Structure 1
Amino acid sequence: MKLVVFGLTVSSSWGNGHATLWRGLIKALAAQQCEVTFFERDVPYYARHRDLLDLPAGELVLYADWADLAARALSEIRAADAVIVTSYCPDGPAAAALACEAARRAVFYDMDTPVTLARLAAGEGVDYLPAEGLSAFDLVLSYTGGEALVRLERELGARRALPLYGHVDPDAHRPGPPQPRFAADLSYLGTYATDRQPTVAALFAEPARRRPDLRFLLGGSGYGEAFPWSDNIFFLDHVAPPEHGAFFASSSLTLNATRRDMADLGYCPSGRLFEAAACGAPILTDVWEGLDLFFEPGREILTARTTDDALAALDLAPADLAAVAAAARERTLDEHTSARRAGQLIGYLSASSPAAAGDLQEA
């Protein structure tokens, strides 16, 4: 199967969650005899933070301008078995028009479904969507399940909306020896987001203030002077994907904080959730509907709604934390790998009817 993808980025993991997911998925697709060509607009902010130049398991095409790319894009689309256009693709509407006109199967993959639906509800434009919505696509995939799938069909005209959740490449994210620079009693890895900040403040910054005897490590871009820093919070403005394993493996406990729109919709596991679990780190997460579809609260993952909940998790015995981490890693390697999602994607694309695709969704 030959696939063509028009996406935000796969070459830079800076300030976005798309790149690491695509790297793992493309590698897993290649292992299942799929050839992938990924088109990415070459923008300065990703060029300055580019941590991948070639796709070992696919072809990366960086381009400066859509007009110069159109002929090459059309040729690749016509040769492909399926074409995938993603949310936040800078040339999404143009790529979608070409794909829906010329592709054997045109797919839209919304990797930011809660953002898409929230902006629509607020009456805002969504510049990565076609003006007519998603009705022209043969299939719509969503990073978020549950009610989001119904709304994609009802509000944006998707013919079929199916989930393709986050995942992890266990070759890239696995337990390893702790590194002193990443040592922490509680760590958090995530780009700054205003709507996520109350959760980070309650479950990370406030515990740090109350427990000056512990070490807290924050990794991610966009944090400034307004963040409620304390002397025991240490900061890294970027942690590259090859370092994620060491980052998580060096933490006694790591936090997952979900963006507000995602938490409100539910069924929205972050790729970082699976990365941390694959690395053997015990995870503390905020609570949202559908969490138990991916991990069993209390046994495979710890949950917190308040600062006191976070402090209670920090006070658990090392043996208890280790048991939670081991259970989450086992669940992740069984159900949440890039290979598992690649197989699901191939099944969706190979399905000859909506009924067959529905069977695959249940499986």
Structure 2
Amino acid sequence: MNKIEYSLDTRQLSSDIVQWFHDNKRDLPWRQSEDPYHIWISEVMLQQTQVDTVIPYYNTFVSRFPTLNDLAYADEETVLKTWEGLGYYSRARNLQKGVREVVETYGSKVPDNKKDILSIKGIGPYTAGAVLSIAYHQPEPAVDGNVMRVLSRVLLIDDDIAKARTRLLFENIIYDLIPETDPSGFNQGLMEIGALVCKPKQPKCDVCPIAAHCLANEEGAQLEYPVKKKKTPPKPLYFAVVVPQDQHQRVLIQKRPDKGLLANLWEFPMISVEPEQDNLDGIIECEMKNRYNIIVKPKDIETTVTHIFSHIKWHLNVYTADISTVGEDGETYRWVKEAALDSFPFPVSHQKVMKYIKAN
């Protein structure tokens, strides 16, 4: 679809979205500010994360790093620790890298034009549109899943929303619809309608402020939109997680590589295994000797933890083990007292392991 022929009153549609937003918007902490830095933080945190989950993390993060300079000059481990539990840690790393670019290249001022803001690490079209429209009141589109769902239904658009060209289509539609007088209210209104009213499986069409404009509602076809190709199920991966304790009652933790999944976070030693692994004790003993120069005798499975990423699913069988020597630190691993574990940033999966170990 290169050109949309609108069969509805687009000006009234835009007006209804804006009016409803100002009358019904939620009281969220990032809406108390038009600081582009704070809006940037909130939009990054809200990617793939529920609003209620984000609120305490946003408040803590802004309190800890209230200005661009505070975040730019913080050490990465402090940033990751503050982000701990929110997941998708590459968001935090890219946010800090982007903020450093703003400090170094733009004199600590978030750019107010599309070309420059899109050049910043970690900022894509959605975040750029959100910052430009909310902080700088520019009529730029901010297209997320909520927005595509609402407009797919209103305009009966059957293009696959998983495809990049469909996102461009929605951006062009918003350029047609967004009012120059209140682009912030329009973009946030579309997002809010998607979050609270035009829900994926149970849309509340009876209270929707734009139901009168909605072609899917008119045809009773709301649940057929948006069109999206089903994702491939995440690939299962299996690991033995070993938590050895030395004679000083310290446990062993390992820092992940500085690139890739969960980069620079800490974890308990993980050994890749098969679902029904033969000679598992022998494999664990050999790996722990080769990696950390310790001899362990793993006990029975203590607990099992599962964690789903977008493309893989971890199955973690957790073992404890005592060693008869004093552990020695290596370049990427340390022996630490249980009480000190909280000072290290761990991914959610290993926070679950830690919680179990502390409780038992």
Same fold, TM-score > 0.5, yes or no = no
User: Whose Rg is larger?
Assistant: 2
Give the TM-score category using the shorter length.
Answer: under 0.3
